[in-house]
Amino acid sequence: MAIFYGQRLLSRLQACHLARLGQAFLASAPEDIKQVLGRNEPRKKRWKEKKLKHPCGSLDLDCSWEERLSSVATPLCGLPYEEQLKVKYEKLKSILQTLTARLRKLGANHLTITQMPDEICCPLKPVIPSPIINGYRNKSTFSVNHGPDGNPKTVGMYVGTGKGRNIVCVRANHLLNMPRAHLQIAQCYEEFIRQSSLDPCILFHLGGHWRELIVRSNRKGDTMAIITFHPQQLNHEELSLQKELVRDFFIRGPGAVCGLASLYFQESAMTRCSHEQSPYQLLSGEPHIFEELLGLKFRISPDAFLQVNTAGAEVLYQTIGEMIRAHKDTVLLDICCGTGAIGLSLADQVSKVIGVEVVDQAVEDAKWNAAFNGVSNCEFHSGKAEVVLPQLLMSWPETRPLTAVVNPSRAGLHYHVVRAIRNCEAIRRLVYVSCKPEGETMRNFLEFCCPPNTGKKLKGEAFAPVSAVPVDLFPHTSHCELLLLLAR
């Protein structure tokens, strides 16, 4: 009953949000925003006049913007944590059932389907809980846009969608997964841009400058802030002035209360860009903050990847170590390795670690981390995995077994990476780490486990799912890391 209630609550909250968002926003928005949203006037009138059947029961159309943001960002926050874990378990079981059905259609007769009534392709362990439930995020991204009161210099998180032209930026002060230090920095950034003479950059073609804020932190309490700024047509002197104003505000002005360890500024005319495309400029403080995981010290750069829940990441890495059954002869291939956290945490259990990562700065951090911690059996390669990995595996002897760990983004692994792993007979065990297994990751699972397909150049022996272990790194949300062990 609790599981059913949790799933029903999640779907109803989301449905409620979609149904009421436009109606409530248009009622409270100032006239200039209504004009932007109402370019297609006849359609807008039909939308406003339509009587919406309320799907949420106890939540009416007058619920606050904070409640609406919670229903989007932390949809399970109304459930006790034990019930959240049950909801996530049922979701992952459904995903594995889908994987099993699709593999059967592909003729994957090598699989041993478990005899449980659930008919999933491998045992699914109970969800391992996060050691920390509230305020666990070590990285937060805050946007700038119109708030509920219409102020375009509001710093928070989005309710609504760009496609629906109903975005509202809501302060995130009430979200249970946000640390107080991150919220304080966001509040100070909002104070700064509201006193600035420059406009926010909401749509690139409309001009403006102030963009998103990224906050990173460690368990010691050190914080790093990265401010993104669209230069538009400002000259060098004008840009220098803005950087000086930012520095003064956070070092000697009202923002000094944040006690930033690092303050960065990035000039960017793109939606997302790396340090190589547009360098992070250090305005004040140290170039890095540092974090300790499982007795190792890790250097964190502005765009370095680290699991968003540090305490949960330690549980994740320990679980990966248990699943790969490493020994002193094992060579571990760490694909999408980031700053090397997984490989370095397991380095003392294996003979060698080979890491591959596309972000150059993350590779530099990984090499520094290895040297600082005295780990000598690791090497890290910079470049796209679909380019680097086939070259690494091309000459690898089949008699020397490899164990692989892949931890890609939500976009999953590039097909060439899957093909290189699948066709390298030396790789006998693979742990796939995914926070969204129902997305592109499902395609990867099918490519690893389907029968050989010469048309797709998947010639190697197929993998089979052996076990699935969920680790919760995202309390109050619907997400959960899934570790899927594949072997052949």
Asked whether the beta carbons of 132 and 312 are under 8 A apart, the reply is yes
Task: Indicate if 480 belongs to the active site.
Answer: no
User: Which listed residue (212, 291, 314, 481) is catalytic?
Assistant: 481
Q: What does the angle CA 32 – CA 34 – CA 35 come to, to the nearest 5 degrees?
A: 65
User: Which listed residue (435, 449, 450, 480) is catalytic?
Assistant: 435
Which value, in Å, is the radius of gyration of the alpha carbons in the chain? 24
- Both tokens of 50, joined, read 């339509």
Among 262, 351, 333, 353, CA closest to 299: 262
Task: Indicate if 424 belongs to the active site.
Answer: no
Residues classed as catalytic: 435, 481
